[in-house]
């Protein structure tokens, strides 16, 4: 009876050869640490993706403002002429 | 009777507004002259036109120069704010545009700020301005 149970148990799973399979505490800790170490790497990846977006935004601002400047140019010219005492 | 009254009142109001406009138009000198101290500082190159639409001190600052520049810049800011509101622009946008125009309007010998930030003396050649200037 006891021999049969043992045989079934060893047949179902592979023999516990690796440290992790043996339930070694150090191995489990190492695996956990590896996962934790990967998390910041993932975050760092996000930051490097965000960085190139910034110059694009600035460039858009430049374009918008140039359009605005062209629109305001005539009015600003008149303002300077009408307020010659402070220009 | 009520209609007559309203008509009379509105006619009176219209006439008042017309008179006020006429007087206002006459009272505001269309082309006021620069203050002599400002004109002198300007032609001496002590003050110059900045890119941002305001006046700046070119060389060493004195309390007198600082007062003069502050006074003019406060007045300019008020004008910019009013016109920016009227043209649906921001104060900075309007001031920058006015800076473009003010630098263009400098006379030879006067100082202006180039895009690099350095002070330049205006010559008969076109001034060095921001690439966005019209």
Same structural domain for residues A57 and A47?
A: no
Could you identify the residue written with the tokens 């920016």?
Answer: B84
ipTM value, please give it: 0.73
pTM of the predicted model over 0.80:
no
Domain of A40, in residue numbers: 1-51
Question: What tokens were used for B60?
Answer: 């060493």
Of B30, B75, B98, the CB nearest to A76: B98
The per-residue pLDDT for range B50-78, each reduced to its tens digit, is 999 999 999 999 999 999 999 999 999 99
SS3 content of chain B, % helix, strand, coil (to 5): 55, 10, 35
**Minimal CA separation from B8 to chain A, in Å:** 36
Q: Work out the average pLDDT over B5-27.
A: 51
Give yes or no for residue B124 having a pLDDT over 70.
Answer: yes
- Mutation for testing the B interface, residue in A72, A77, A78, A84 having most B CBs under 10 Å: A72
Q: What is the CA radius of gyration of chain A?
A: 35
Same domain, A42 and A74: no
For residues A71 and A46, state if they share a domain: no
Give how many domains chain A has, as a whole number: 2
Contacts of B133 in chain A (CB under 8 A): 69
Of the candidates B30, B86, B96, the beta carbon closest to that of A69 is on: B96
Please give, rounded to a whole number of angstroms, the shortest distance from the CA of B32 to a CA of chain A.
5
Residue A49 distance to chain B (closest CA, Å):
30
Q: How far is A52 from chain B (nearest CA, A)?
A: 24
**Phi/psi at A45 (5° precision):** -60, -40
- Chain A residues contacting B via beta carbons under 8 Å: 62, 65-66, 68-73, 75-77, 79-87
Could you tell me the strand order of the sheet in which B55-57 lies? B55-57, B47-49, B111-113, B119-121
Chain A residue with Cα closest to B132? A66
Q: What are phi and psi of B28, to 5 degrees?
A: -80, 115
Q: Which of B56, B58, B49, B62 shows the shortest CA–CA distance to B107? A: B49
The neighbouring-strand residues paired with B113 are: B119
pLDDT grade, residue A65 (50/70/90)?
Answer: confident
Shared-domain flag, residues A8 and A47: yes
- Confidence grade of residue A3 (pLDDT, cut at 50, 70, 90): very low
Q: Where are chain B's structural domains? A: 45-121
Same domain, yes or no: A36 and A65: no
């Amino acid at each position: 009876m006891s021999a049969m149970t043992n045989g079934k148990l060893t047949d179902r799973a592979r023999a516990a050869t690796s440290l992790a399979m043996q339930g070694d505490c150090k191995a489990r800790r190492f695996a956990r640490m590896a996962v934790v170490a990967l998390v910041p790497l993932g975050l760092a990846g996000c930051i490097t993706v965000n960085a190139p977006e910034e110059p694009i935004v600035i460039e858009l601002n430049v374009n918008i403002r140039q359009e605005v400047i062209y629109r305001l140019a005539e009015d600003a010219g008149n303002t300077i002429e009408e307020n010659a005492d402070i220009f | 009777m009520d209609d007559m009254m309203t008509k009379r009142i509105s006619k009176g109001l219209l006439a008042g507004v017309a008179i006020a406009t006429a007087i206002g138009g006459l009272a505001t000198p269309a082309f006021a002259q620069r203050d002599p101290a400002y004109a002198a500082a300007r032609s001496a190159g002590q003050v110059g036109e900045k890119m941002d639409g305001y006046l700046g001190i070119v060389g060493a600052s004195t309390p007198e120069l600082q007062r003069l520049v502050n006074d003019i810049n406060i007045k300019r800011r008020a004008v910019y704010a009013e016109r920016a509101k009227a043209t649906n622009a921001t104060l900075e946008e309007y001031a920058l545009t006015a800076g473009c125009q003010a630098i263009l309007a400098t006379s030879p010998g006067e100082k202006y700020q180039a895009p690099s930030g350095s002070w330049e003396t205006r010559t008969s050649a076109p001034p060095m301005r921001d690439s966005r200037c019209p």
